[in-house]
C-alpha cells in the first residue's frame, strides 16, 4: 500500500497527498494536530474555542472549562475526572436544547 506524501508548498503551507486519494493543505507551523473527538469526553471537537483549549489542555472547551481551568496544576500533573463524572457531564450536555440561532 502506498504511503502519504508531504510536500512543502510555501514557507507557510504544506500539502499532504493522502494514500486514500485526498489532499490536505495545512499551515506548516502547526505543531499540534487537533483531533476530531475530545480526549476526555469523546464528543466532537468544533470551532476555534475547542482548538484553543486542545492546544492548552488536550481537551475540548467544555471539558477545559468544567475541569482543567479550575484544576490547572492537577491537570498538568495528569489528573483527569473519573469516568462516572465524565459520563454524567456527557449526559447533561446531550440533554441541553440545541440552538440554531445565527
Q: Residues 73-93: pLDDT tens digits?
A: 999 999 999 999 999 999 999
**Same domain as 55, residue 21:** no
Q: Could you please report the per-residue DSSP string of 31-43?
A: -SPPPSB-TTT-P
Structural domain boundaries, residue 72: 47-95
**Same domain as 51, residue 19:** no
**Same domain as 24, residue 57:** no
Q: Residue 13 domain-assigned?
A: yes
> Which residues are CB-contacts of 48 (< 8 A; sequence separation ≥ 6)?
none
What is the percentage of the chain residues whose pLDDT exceeds 70?
A: 93
Q: Residue 8 domain-assigned?
A: yes
Cβ neighbours of 46 (radius 10 Å): 11
Amino acid at each position: 500500500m502506498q504511503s502519504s506524501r508531504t510536500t512543502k508548498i510555501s514557507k507557510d503551507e504544506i500539502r499532504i497527498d493522502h494514500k486514500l486519494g485526498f489532499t490536505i493543505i495545512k499551515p506548516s507551523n502547526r505543531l499540534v494536530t487537533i483531533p476530531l473527538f475530545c480526549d476526555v469526553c469523546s464528543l466532537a471537537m468544533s470551532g476555534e474555542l475547542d482548538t484553543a483549549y486542545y492546544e492548552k489542555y488536550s481537551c475540548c472547551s467544555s471539558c477545559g472549562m468544567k475541569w482543567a481551568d479550575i484544576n490547572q496544576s492537577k491537570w498538568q500533573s495528569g489528573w483527569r475526572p473519573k469516568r462516572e463524572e465524565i459520563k454524567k457531564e456527557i449526559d447533561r450536555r446531550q440533554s441541553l436544547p440545541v440552538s440554531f440561532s445565527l
